[in-house]
């Protein structure tokens, strides 16, 4: 089978604001990224997904765009962007742009016009509705708390915002809106970008009047039109952020025959520590059995009719090593365990900045330390509902998005080498131990485990194409699966527990062909296998 480049690639996500500051203003920028490309080349990644770098008032840190064809002043200029694309290309790294087109900023020219009145030609670029019985049109809620409808005094109508008030939703039913988006995408494609990550793309087919938001009836029609009008003739990676996707829905997006996207981000595993029917803030302990069930389902159900992505982290999620691993006694072991387990599955792995050195969540004690609009809005809402401060802060420490957004930890100098100025968000105090320099100096570091995994994928088609089989005859805390390809079988074993555990699987025999491991190990005897806390390895049978 001839692979597409994105089927063998590993993608690295950069949150530019927190990656590397080059001019001492405390905010990461494009020149900063350029200075770190050699580091990323050393890691071995094939593409960078760049969180938004466009002009933005930063109500939601760049996910509220006021000009899609200009660079955010704090991040640099279009010349810097061109240089980044070119410098990355020299190292065989493609730049994937974040495409945020469910909404714009309220400071986008289109919305400024739209707001001017019912007769403005841009009025219909957004979703405006009359009041119903003097109230908001319906009960749609914003993902960032409160109603999704904001009243505009001047025109006496409400506009829809599924995120913050400063992120009005575009009206995708309007052909001119779609044409503007296609033109903008073509502008970036002509610059030579390697593709798009599509922000909350499952929402563009919404029917607000019926309170339908995700997976609306015209969603796939729009995506087919997008493919045809923009990237269809380019060899690029496209990935949709699709919160409610099931395997069947994922096939609609990513079956190559349908000419939509390369792959989706599915979030089913990410929601497993959330209480049924409650918010992301209402957590429960992870069941490893559930995780096995969900990940295995996604491994086996797409077949040749779709493509998976693989991830634990992004800029919206807490750090996996703190969330489901152990960020103290078994920091290194558990970080590597998550890497080994995920990177040997089928699909395209994504690494979020800092994951490859085991960066952890960063605790706060007061809301004044928080930058993220989602956490701040939730804090206000829950306080009003009678939750205690302690409870709310605890849930922010567990799930808040700032956990992933603290500055990248490069070295043990002041501010972790991220900036010479005052960082826009505090640096995690553990940077003295957890940083890139320390990782590069230690042959057994988390960094080298990721590097080795990326190389294994490049060298072994079994990782890209092999069949996946879950091994069920193991204790709950052990996640074990096989990959099988052209007569070869690999076994991947991961202990999720902070206790040693024994497994007995005599039918798998014995092997000395260890491919990767997070403890020193030269052989495996499956009839009598003792796993150390968070131990993980892969072995050729």
3-class secondary structure, 309: strand
- Tell the smallest beta-carbon distance from residue 102 to ligand GLC (Å): 7
Residue among 452, 465, 501 nearest 348 (CA): 465
User: Rg of the chain over CA atoms, in angstroms?
Assistant: 23
CB 17 within 8 A of CB 28: yes
Q: In angstroms, what is the minimal distance from the CB of 94 to ligand GLC?
A: 20
**Contact positions vs ligand GLC (CB under 6 A):** 60, 63, 100, 163, 199-200, 241, 315-316
Q: Is 479 strand, coil or helix?
A: strand
Alpha helices in 400-435 (DSSP H): 402-405
Q: What is the DSSP string of 344-399?
A: TSSSEEEEETTGGGT------SSGGG---HHHHHHHHHHHHTT--HHHHHHHHHHH
**CA dist 168 → 127, 135, 150, 165, 331 (Å):** 8, 19, 9, 6, 41
Tokens 């380019």 belong to 234
63 binds, options ligand GLC, Ca ion, none, Cβ within 5 to 8 A by partner type: ligand GLC
Q: Binding partner of residue 6 among ligand GLC, Ca ion, none, CB under 5 to 8 Å per kind?
A: none
- Using CA atoms, how far residue 510 sits from 179, 185, 492, 522, in Å, is 60, 53, 14, 11
Chain-centroid distance, C-alpha 457? 20
Q: Identify which of residues 315 and 323 has a Cβ nearer to ligand GLC in the complex.
A: 315
> Cβ-closest residue to ligand GLC?
63
Nearest approach in angstroms of CB 200 to ligand GLC is 5
Q: Which residues have CB under 8 Å from 468's CB, separation 6+?
A: 296, 299, 300, 345, 346, 481, 482, 483
Marked catalytic residue, from 106, 199, 374, 535: 199
Q: Which does 60 bind (CB under 5 to 8 A by kind): Ca ion, ligand GLC, none?
A: ligand GLC
By a kind-dependent CB cut-off of 5 to 8 A, residue 29 interacts, out of ligand GLC, Ca ion, none, with Ca ion
d(CA 225, CA 461): 33
Task: State both tokens at 392.
Answer: 């709310």
Listed in sequence order, the residues at least 6 apart from 63 whose beta carbon sits closer than 8 Å to its beta carbon are 51, 52, 56, 98, 100, 163, 167, 199
Q: Which is nearer to ligand GLC, 171 or 415 (CB)?
A: 171
199 catalytic per annotation: yes
Least CB distance from residue 334 to ligand GLC, whole Å? 25
Q: Which residues bind Ca ion (CB under 5 A)?
A: 21, 23, 25, 27, 29
Catalytic residue, chosen from 241, 333, 356, 372, is: 241
3-state class (DSSP) for residue 171: coil
From Ca ion, ligand GLC, none, interface partner of 124 (C-beta below 5 to 8 A by class) = none
Residue 541 and residue 537: Cα distance in Å, rounded? 12
Residue 100 binds which one of Ca ion, ligand GLC, none, with CB within 5 to 8 A depending on kind? ligand GLC
Minimum CB separation of residue 374 from ligand GLC in Å reads 7
- Give me the least distance between CB of 247 and ligand GLC, in Å please: 21
CB of 128 to ligand GLC, least distance (A): 20
Closer Cβ to ligand GLC, 128 or 163, answer by number: 163
Nearer to Ca ion, 21 or 106 (CB): 21
Q: Residue 260's binding partner, choosing from Ca ion, ligand GLC, none, with beta-carbon cut-off 5 to 8 A by kind?
A: none
What is the set of active-site residues? 199, 241
């Amino acid at each position: 089978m001839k692979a597409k480049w994105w089927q063998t690639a590993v993608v690295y996500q950069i949150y530019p604001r927190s990656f590397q500051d080059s001019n001492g203003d405390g905010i990461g920028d494009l020149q900063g990224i350029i200075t770190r490309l050699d580091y990323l080349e050393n890691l071995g990644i094939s593409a960078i997904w760049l969180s938004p770098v466009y002009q933005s008032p930063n109500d939601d840190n760049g996910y509220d765009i006021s000009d899609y064809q200009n660079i955010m002043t704090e991040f640099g200029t279009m010349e810097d962007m061109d240089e980044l694309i070119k410098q990355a290309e020299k190292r065989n790294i493609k730049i994937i742009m974040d495409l945020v087109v469910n909404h714009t900023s309220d400071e986008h020219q289109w919305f400024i016009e739209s707001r001017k009145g019912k007769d403005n030609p841009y009025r219909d670029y957004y979703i405006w509705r009359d009041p119903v019985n003097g109230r908001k049109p319906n009960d749609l809620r914003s993902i960032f708390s409160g109603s999704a409808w904001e009243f505009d005094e001047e025109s006496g109508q409400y506009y829809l915002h599924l995120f913050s008030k400063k992120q009005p939703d575009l009206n995708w039913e309007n052909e001119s809106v779609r044409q503007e988006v296609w033109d903008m995408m073509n502008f970036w494609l002509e610059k030579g970008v390697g593709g798009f990550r599509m922000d909350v793309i499952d929402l563009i087919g919404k029917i607000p009047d019926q309170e339908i938001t995700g997976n609306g009836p015209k969603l796939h029609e729009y995506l087919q039109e997008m493919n045809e009008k923009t990237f269809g003739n380019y060899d690029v990676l496209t990935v949709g952020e699709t919160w409610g996707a099931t395997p069947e829905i994922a096939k609609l997006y990513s079956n190559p025959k349908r000419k939509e996207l390369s792959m989706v981000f599915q979030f089913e595993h990410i929601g497993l520590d959330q209480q049924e029917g409650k918010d992301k803030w209402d957590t429960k302990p992870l069941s490893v059995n559930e995780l096995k069930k969900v990940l295995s389902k996604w491994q086996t159900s797409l077949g040749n009719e779709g493509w998976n992505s693989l991830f634990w982290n992004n800029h919206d999620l807490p750090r996996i090593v703190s969330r489901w691993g152990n960020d103290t006694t078994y920091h290194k072991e558990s970080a590597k365990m998550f890497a080994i387990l995920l990177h040997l599955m089928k699909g395209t792995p994504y690494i979020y900045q800092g994951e490859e050195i085991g960066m952890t969540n960063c605790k706060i004690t007061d809301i004044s330390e928080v930058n993220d609009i989602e956490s701040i809005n939730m804090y206000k809402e829950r306080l009003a509902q009678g939750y205690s401060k302690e409870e709310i802060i605890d849930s922010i420490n567990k799930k808040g998005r700032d956990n992933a957004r603290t500055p990248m930890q490069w070295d043990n100098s002041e501010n972790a080498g991220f900036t010479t100025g005052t960082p826009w968000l505090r640096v995690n105090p553990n940077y003295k131990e957890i940083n890139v320099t320390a990782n590069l100096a230690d042959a057994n570091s988390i960094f080298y485990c990721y590097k080795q995994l990326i190389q294994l994928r490049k060298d072994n088609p079994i990782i890209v194409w092999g069949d996946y089989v879950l091994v069920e005859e193991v204790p709950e805390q052990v996640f074990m699966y096989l990959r099988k390809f052209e007569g070869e079988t690999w076994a991947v074993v991961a202990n999720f527990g902070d206790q040693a555990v024994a497994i007995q699987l005599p039918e798998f025999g014995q092997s000395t062909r260890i491919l990767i491991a997070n403890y020193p190990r030269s052989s495996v005897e499956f009839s009598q296998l003792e796993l150390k806390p968070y131990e993980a390895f892969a072995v050729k049978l």
